[in-house]
A and B are shown apart, each in its own frame.
Chain A
């Protein structure tokens, strides 16, 4: 039903009977709308609106210096080697992708002349190729022209395992061919509904072929330009001190009119989040600071009569508790949490459901995350057309107790419930991080009231998130009953985000715990939904598959969503940063300006 209605609406937009905005609004009403609504339109045959950012400056330069404060400084400037946001941000003033994501999750052309769509012939109807037209007349900072050869080279560079590029995952399964000097075509092996990954946003930054061609493969680390970027970006490289400072100056030949606004750019690194917030909001020494992992209470206090404010952008980052479906206390073939075991407590669905009832999301939001969090029952929280409306959450100690009582878990002498000699004792682990320890405390208290004994465990983040095979405390080994952390959604598409719980990615000793399905949950219906979604070209059906997958996870209580987290930055009052929750803060750096 939804399907036909949608098709009619898309046709309406095509014929001009309905404008895009109205379409998007109708979609919201249907519970289907989103940033990705626009990609839906693209596949449906409508060119994406080239969402013009409200950019006011009428001439290039004159904005003075732009001073950014990253509390982890960039440590390298080759975007293909970037190990985290900090490095991607450090190289972004100099290097650019073909397109970036805007605040709504729309594609915004940068080095591309236009965004591919079915209408302009960019997208193949079978979903197996995308053709990008490049903007003519773009020059590298050293004056050489930017052409399709550069784009093709980046694909060759990144996909070569010897280069050890961290973007290899994006480029290894595609092939890229030059159509003419200003056109490239990306070919996919299988129909690919989410085609906007290669050459887009943070993983899509393009290096100049003429400076890196000799440093492909084994020699990649010797390239002198790894430390001296020459790109097409709004700023030209001046100076780099790893972990401390990146400096750039205006590119007078930048390919977008009136941009950039600032004469120089500086990214200073180091210190901690609270003092970074202070330097922007309270003393105004800096214009913008990133990733304000600071308690809302502190931010509110700083904002009082300050020189800056916090800014929020919504993406799909989710803080959640995962339940172990295998037994962490039994060792089989040198491996705990082995797939050959079943969790003694969680094999009873009532225990899992009771746990979900004991997470007081309102209290966690109110006391810990504040404006930077939203409560949610879902693991998948965006873009909006993928968000399930079928789920709900509630906090009720009574209901949890009743559920356990009915399932035969009776309170013992010390108030801890037990059944068949198994006591409800649960080890709850997470990384060391202020908000996480507070969340642990809130949940532990509620569980105690319901007769579940929780033992809290905190592991240093550098250990918890490491892939060190020898260490028993990593999140992927999951030698605990439940664990909590956040997975970021790095693009406005759920494929990567949802795929990890597919049963073929179970983390085991055999794959050195590199599998991402660490709850070791196996569900045929979920696997089928994910497999179907990944091959589905029709955007509406595809969204339906992901919603179904999310609902299966919810029904099975594989994970308990704790908080849908927003990205928080701190900006000077006069600064107008162009931010998006779907990508890095610097992804639209060329559009940043200062209000006079």
Chain B
């Protein structure tokens, strides 16, 4: 197994290099200029913008810029933001806790809804419960998050005035009150994201479970006189969870990557809003770092998913 992991990690190196080349080229070809705002400001002489471009090496050929970036990245230097004039890693680390908290809670909420609802719906296919769960799931993943987000704001903030819709990084108060405020302001974004995720995941869990529940070994387990609950949880679910684990593992990078739309709507200072504002201001080093780290996480979690398969189903071997 150790050999397997090592081999997979080695294979990851060329693919990550390939990803970085593609990302860098696309960003270099994309139109725009980090110092665009200066161009319309009559107070700033054009030479200043040119000097800044030279200072940040923007006038060098693309391949030179790429190799410079790669060399720095290998040494753990993520680059220097044009816009904030600070190191990219500090910028990202500052945003990470908020993203982990909000998106992570949303994922947990999605799992907490999807697994029991999906499993229960699968044990009673086409029952009233299943029908309702299905309908809600369809509604859930047909509504985009920007729509549900605005709807929630209108209902809970504007009309009812229960929840704040501007996420604040430094919540006033200490102890219980701090915790309460943190939870209160996260309710809406977590619900919006969590329900959206839960909807598609419920469908997934249900179909995975349906595939397994009809197999002979489940009938055998029932025939042995084991209770319904034990059969479902111990025998059926463990096997049904294999595809679900893949899905969850692939969604884990998103927990770090943030949710661009939702973060923008609720002004959550997470990675997603950092990415979008950096794209808008053409802050290439930040965009590059966020997307590349995201790519690394995707590769890493794929590996983790593969390793988990072996644990869930010992018949799957590592070759």
What is the interface of chain A, defined by CB distance below 8 A to chain B? 69, 72-73, 75-76, 78, 81, 83-84, 161, 164-170, 172, 203, 221, 226-227, 239, 241-245, 247, 266, 268-272, 275, 278-279, 282-283, 285-286, 460, 462-463, 465-468, 471, 473-476, 485, 487-488, 490-491, 496-497, 499-500, 511-512, 514-516
Q: Are A242 and B267 closer than 8 Å at their CB atoms?
A: no
A76 and B161 CA atoms in complex are apart in Å by: 34
Per the bound structure, the CA–CA distance linking A243 and B52 in Å amounts to 21
B277 contacts A243, C-beta separation under 8 Å = yes
Task: Specify the chain B residue showing the minimal Cβ separation from A65.
Answer: B172
Of the residues A72, A466, A511, contact of B32 by C-beta under 8 Å:
A466
Binary A-proximity of B68-81 (CB < 8 A = 1, otherwise 0):
00000000000011
Out of A164, A165, A226, A283, name the residue touching B86 (CB < 8 Å): A226
What residues of chain B lie closer than 8 Å to A269, measured between beta carbons? 267
The stretch that binds A, out of B162-170, B230-238, B246-254, is B162-170
Interface residues of B in 261-313 (CB under 8 A from A): 264-265, 267, 269, 273-274, 277, 280-282
Q: In whole angstroms, what is the CA distance A78 to B83 when docked?
A: 12
8 A Cβ contacts from B22-47 to A: 31-33, 35-47
User: With A and B bound together, what is the CA distance between A212 and B43 in angstroms?
Assistant: 23
Q: Max chain A CB contacts within 10 Å: which of B41, B49, B80, B165?
A: B41
**B50 on the A face (CB < 8 A):** yes
A/B interface sample: 14 pairs, CB < 8 A: A164-B51, A164-B55, A169-B48, A226-B85, A242-B81, A243-B269, A245-B170, A466-B33, A468-B31, A468-B32, A468-B33, A500-B42, A514-B46, A514-B47
Q: In this assembly, does B239 line the interface, its C-beta being within 8 Å of a C-beta of chain A?
A: no
Is B158 on the interface with A (CB-CB < 8 A)?
A: yes
A227 to B85 CA separation, bound complex (whole angstroms): 9
A245 touches which one: B153, B269, B277 (CB < 8 A)? Answer: B269
In the complex, whether B15 has a CB less than 8 A from a CB of chain A is no
Cβ-closest chain A residue relative to B32: A462
Is B157's beta carbon under 8 Å from chain A? yes
With A and B bound together, what is the CA distance between A133 and B169 in angstroms?
42
Q: Is B127 an interface residue (CB 8 A)?
A: no
Shortest C-beta distance, A87 to chain B (Å), equals: 9
Give CA–CA (A270, B189) in the complex, Å.
15
Chain A contacts of B44 at CB under 8 A? 166, 168-169
* 0 or 1 for each of B45-71: is its CB under 8 Å from A? (1 = yes): 111111110010000000000000000
Cα A272 to Cα B277 in complex, Å, equals: 12
CB pair B269 A487 closer than 8 Å? no
Collect the chain B residues with CB atoms within 8 Å of residue A247's CB.
170
Q: In the complex, what's the smallest C-beta–C-beta distance from B160 to chain A, in angstroms?
A: 11
Bound CA span A164–B54, Å: 10
**Contact B169–A241 (Cβ < 8 Å):** yes
A285–B164 CB distance below 8 A: yes
**A169–B280 alpha-carbon span in the complex (Å):** 26
A-B interface, 10 closest residue pairs, ranked by CB to CB distance from nearest: A514-B46, A244-B269, A466-B33, A466-B36, A496-B42, A242-B84, A270-B267, A169-B45, A467-B39, A271-B267
Give bound CA distance, A491 to B42, whole Å. 10
Does B142 sit within 8 A of A, measured CB to CB?
A: no
Q: Does B219 interact with chain A (Cβ within 8 Å)?
A: no
Closest A residue, CB atoms, query B276: A270
Specify which chain B residues have a CB less than 8 angstroms from the CB of A168 in the assembled complex.
Answer: 44-45, 48
Is A75's CB under 8 angstroms from B83's CB? yes
Residues of chain A within 8 A (CB-CB) of B280 are: 462
Give the chain B neighbours of A515 by CB distance below 8 A.
46
In this assembly, does B220 line the interface, its C-beta being within 8 Å of a C-beta of chain A? no
A72 to B37, CA, bound (A): 13
**In the complex, which residues of chain A have a beta carbon less than 8 angstroms from the beta carbon of B221?**
none
- B135 contacts the other chain (Cβ, under 8 Å)? no
Whether a CB of chain A sits under 8 angstroms from the CB of B242 is no
CB atoms of B273 and A243 under 8 A apart: yes
**B131 interface residue (CB < 8 Å to A):** no
Contact string, B148-189, partner A, CB cutoff 8 A, digits 1/0? 000001000110010011101110000000000000000000
* A204 → chain B closest CB, angstroms: 11
Are the C-beta atoms of A473 and B273 separated by less than 8 Å?
no
Q: Are B164 and A463 in contact (CB under 8 A)?
A: no
User: Do residues B94 and A241 form an inter-chain contact, with CB atoms below 8 A?
Assistant: yes
With contacts A243-B277, A463-B31 known, is A275 near B40, CB below 8 A? no
Contacts of B42 in A (CB 8 A): 487, 490, 496-497, 499-500, 516
20 additional A-B residue pairs with CB within 8 Å, beyond A221-B80, A278-B158: A73-B277, A78-B85, A164-B48, A166-B38, A166-B44, A168-B48, A169-B44, A244-B169, A245-B269, A271-B264, A271-B265, A271-B267, A272-B264, A283-B164, A285-B165, A465-B36, A465-B40, A468-B31, A485-B40, A490-B41
Task: Say whether B91 faces chain A, with CB atoms less than 8 Å apart.
Answer: yes
Q: B36 and A279: CB pair below 8 A?
A: no
What distance in Å separates the Cβ of A263 from its nearest Cβ neighbour in chain B? 12
Question: A75 CA to B43 CA in the complex, in Å?
Answer: 20
A490 CA / B40 CA spacing, docked (Å) = 11
Assembly CA distance A462 to B85 (angstroms) = 20
**With A241-B169, A270-B273, A467-B33 given, is the CB distance from A496 to B264 under 8 Å?**
no
**B114 to nearest A CB, angstroms?**
30
Q: Which of B94, B169, B267 has the most CB of A within 10 A?
A: B267
Given contacts A75-B84, A78-B85, A168-B48, contact A69 B37 (CB under 8 A): no
Q: Are A467 and B166 CB-contacts (below 8 A) given A164-B55, A245-B269, A512-B50?
A: no
B41 vs chain A, min Cβ distance (A): 7
Q: Which residues on the B side are within 8 Å of A203 (C-beta)? A: 43
Q: A270 CA to B43 CA in the complex, in Å? A: 26
* Residues of chain B contacted by A497 (CB below 8 angstroms): 42
* With A81-B85, A462-B282, A471-B31: A270-B269 Cβ-Cβ less than 8 Å: yes
Report the Cα distance A471→B39, complex, angstroms: 14
Known interface pairs A241-B269, A247-B170, A282-B158; A169-B43 also in contact (CB < 8 Å): yes
Instruction: Tell me which residues across on chain B come within 8 A of A244, comparing CB atoms.
Output: 95, 169, 269, 273
B32 in contact with A463 (CB, 8 Å): yes
Q: How far is the CB of A494 from chain B (nearest CB, A)?
A: 11
Task: Tell me if A227 and B86 are in contact (CB < 8 A).
Answer: yes
- A467–B35 CB distance below 8 A: yes
Distance between B237 CB and nearest chain A CB, rounded to angstroms: 41
Partner of A279, one of B52, B91, B166, B277: B166
Report B-chain residues with C-beta under 8 Å of the C-beta of A226: 85-86
**A245 and B169 contacting across the interface, CB-CB below 8 Å:** yes
Give the complex CA separation of A73 and B36 in angstroms: 17
Q: Are A243 and B84 in contact (CB under 8 A)?
A: yes
Tell me the smallest distance from the CB of A537 to a CB of chain B, in Å.
22
Q: Nearest Cβ in chain A — how far from B273, in angstroms?
A: 6
| Assembly CA distance A283 to B163 (angstroms) | 10
Residues on A with beta carbons closer than 8 Å to the beta carbon of B39: 465-467, 474, 476
- Whole-angstrom distance between the alpha carbons of A226 and B84 in the complex? 10
Q: How far apart sit A168 and B42, CA to CA, in the bound complex (Å)?
A: 12
* Bound CA span A271–B264, Å: 5
Which residues from A are CB-within-8-Å of B94? Answer: 241-242
Q: Chain B contacts of A473 at CB under 8 A? A: 31
The docked-state distance in angstroms from the alpha carbon of A172 to that of B43 is: 12
B37 touches A83 (CB 8 A): yes
Residues of the B chain whose Cβ atoms lie less than 8 Å from the Cβ of A275: 153, 165, 265, 267
Residues of B within 8 A of A170 (CB): 43
A169 vs B44: C-alpha distance when bound (angstroms): 5
Q: Which residues of B contact A467 (CB under 8 A)?
A: 33, 35-36, 38-39, 46, 49
- Indicate the member of B38, B40, B48, B80 with the most A CB atoms within 10 Å: B40
Min CB–CB distance B59 → chain A (angstroms) = 9
Residue pair A243, B85 in contact (C-beta under 8 Å): no
From the candidates B38, B80, B161, B170, name the one contacting A83 in the complex (CB within 8 A).
B38
Chain B residue at minimal CB-CB distance from A166: B44
What's the least CB distance linking A307 to chain B, in Å? 10
Query: Which residues from chain A contact B157 at a C-beta distance below 8 Å?
Result: 283
Known: A168-B48, A463-B31. A84 touches B37 (CB 8 A): yes
A76:B86 contact, CB within 8 angstroms: yes
Least Cβ–Cβ distance between B145 and chain A, in angstroms:
15
